[in-house]
Amino acid sequence: MMISVIGGGYVGLVSSVCFAELGHSVNLVEIDEEKTEAINAAIPCMHEKGLEELLLKYVGTRLKARSDYSCVAETDISFLCVGTPSSGDGSPDLTMIESACRMIGTSLDGRVGRHTIVVKSTVPPGTTENRLVPLVMGSSNKMLSEMGFAVNPEFLREGLAIQDFLMPDRIVIGSSDKAAGDAVEAAYRGLDLPIIRTTMATAEMIKYASNAFLAAKISFSNEIGNICKRLGIDAYDVLRCVGMDHRIGPHFLNAGVGFGGSCFPKDVAALISLAEGLGESTSMLRAIMDVNERQPFKIIELLEQRAGDLMGKRIAVLGLAFKNDTDDIRDSRSIPVIRELKRRGALVAAYDPQAIRNMRKVINGIDYCNSAAEALRMADACLVMTEWPEFGELDDEFDLMSSRIIIEGRRVLCCDDSEGICW
């Protein structure tokens, strides 16, 4: 197939290389010319396992990046992968996806033959049918019979996105008609897995419900972990056993400093905004967010219990990305922790294998280090915020500290004298 992918960010770039891997020819539309040039040079704009290898494999053959929409008319199907960030009230900002729809419609004006437009971006139920379809049709001057529309939500974990694209649990396709759904299904031909066909609004809701439930498991785990900590019980022993119940499952039952990233905080906030706009109560969804906002400060409380007044003390913070195997710092739990450390007068020395460049744009006035050992040297305490595998190999490096106070926000260390936020 000839495929257009609109948006060269995280989802768009991963989708582009994976569609190329499935044998399709892909035109990636990214209006940022600097990013477009980087992609065409096979330089990834983010850290993601396997991404650079696939870029090198397909750029210039099956994959080309463009900074304009003229190539859309040459393709059979377009996947919209632009951002829908949170507005001030928690509702998604649809400015970028609405603009993209107008541009797609304009580019298709005069094109002969049917074209299918697929929304991968996360949008509230009803958005594609009620807002995006009219925008495309209004700018394309085409008949509805000449167009197909579908919603195909992504379920990609950062750090494992390529694996998740090529070996997902399921593919969800909500479509305006059977032909549109068939076109989306054809794009995934070669993958042997369950395909769920449904309405566009249902597909949109599946994405929100999935992320909200996963966020709920994390906040639940953290509350259980906080209780266990008070009782002197290892929360991981408890949650490991709880997860063996087939009705619950083991995934996302990890107590720690909470969730971050580009999806969970944004999507739960959007679901709250949607529900309250309909007059529905959101007490459970709000509780998920409340627990997550409070959780990072638990590690500060524990630090003060161990180290006393933080004024003038050097605190090593290991891990800046919201999780390992990514350089994404969006809603990273390290951000509120570092800001609170600074507010209390601590001197922060921070290290992350990939995320320092991004964190520099958000927080200044701290010592960014080139290695964990450099951050630990003469530190009065250490907070481990991200479960990078290299942190699990640290041991003698902690001897560089002035005092060996080591507190984990994520369980990753192998040394005997660390203490966890929830264990």
Residue 313, CB half-sphere, CA atoms under 13 Å: how many? 22
The pLDDT of residue 268 is 98
Of 18, 81, 101, 263, the active-site residue reads 263
Whether 2-198 and 296-420 share one fold: the answer is yes
The pLDDT of residue 416 is 87
The pLDDT of residue 141 is 85
* CA 122, 125, 129, 130 torsion-angle sign: negative
Q: Which fold has domain 296-420?
A: Rossmann fold (3.40.50)
Q: What is the mean pLDDT of the chain?
A: 97
Contact yes or no for 165/156 (Cβ under 8 A): yes
Write the pLDDT tens digit of every residue in 233-261. Answer: 999 999 999 999 999 999 999 999 999 99
Grade residue 112 by pLDDT with cuts at 50, 70 and 90.
confident
Contact yes or no for 175/148 (Cβ under 8 A): yes
The pLDDT of residue 37 is 97
pLDDT at 110 over 90: no
Within a 10 A sphere around the Cβ of 399, how many other Cβ atoms?
8
- Would you state the CATH architecture of domain 2-198? 3-Layer(aba) Sandwich (3.40)
Contact yes or no for 325/410 (Cβ under 8 A): no
Contact yes or no for 316/309 (Cβ under 8 A): no
Which DSSP category does 308 fall into? -
What are the strands, taking DSSP E only, across 69-199? 77-80, 115-119, 147-151, 171-175, 195-198
* Spatial CA neighbour of 407 closest among 311, 299, 334, 314: 299
Q: How far apart are CA 253 and CA 161, in angstroms?
A: 20
Q: How far apart are CA 24 and CA 42, in angstroms?
A: 18
Contact yes or no for 149/142 (Cβ under 8 A): no
Contact yes or no for 175/149 (Cβ under 8 A): yes
Task: Enumerate residues 6+ apart whose C-beta is below 8 A from 418.
Answer: 384, 406, 407, 408
pLDDT at 402 over 90: yes
Report which residue type is found at 89.
D
Work out the average pLDDT over 345-357: 98
Grade residue 63 by pLDDT with cuts at 50, 70 and 90.
very high
Is 422 marked active-site?
A: no
The pLDDT of residue 111 is 86
Write the pLDDT tens digit of every residue in 371-399. Answer: 999 999 999 999 999 999 999 999 999 99
Give the homologous superfamily in CATH for domain 208-294: N-(1-d-carboxylethyl)-l-norvaline Dehydrogenase; domain 2 (1.10.1040.10)
* Spatial CA neighbour of 392 closest among 324, 335, 331, 299: 324
Residue spans of the domains in the chain: they are 2-198, 208-294, 296-420
CA–CA distance from 169 to each of 155, 165, 195 (Å)? 9, 9, 9
Beta 171-175 vs 77-80: how paired, if at all?
unpaired
Work out the average pLDDT over 106-128: 95
Write the pLDDT tens digit of every residue in 193-238. Answer: 999 999 999 999 999 999 999 999 999 999 999 999 999 999 999 9
